[in-house]
Amino acid sequence: MAEIKHLKAINCREFGNDCNAIMKGRNLDEAIDAVVKHFVSMHRRTLRDLQTPEMRAEIGAKAKDWETPAKV
């Protein structure tokens, strides 16, 4: 039986963007960091605005559990 890998995932559409990107991380902080990087590079958001504790909490609140088979 394949081992399951547990991740946190955040869908860009959760923020009202017309974008199919889903950012994932091994934990919530990694997933938030991936969203921040995506927003800066793809949606022209400013890093300073995304790095506030309030914004990171708002981003993290949209995280969902994501399970995928682990690579062997």
pLDDT band at 66 (very low <50, low <70, confident <90, very high): very high
Number of domains composing the chain: 1
Q: Say which residue, 16 or 5, is predicted with more confidence.
A: 16
CA 15 vs CA 35, 63, 68, 70: distances in Å = 11, 11, 24, 28
Number of Cβ within a 10 Å radius of residue 52: 10
Question: Taking 70 as the threshold, does the pLDDT of residue 12 lie above it?
Answer: yes
Q: Is the pLDDT at 15 greater than 70, yes or no?
A: yes
pTM: 0.87
Domain holding 52, by residue range, is 4-69
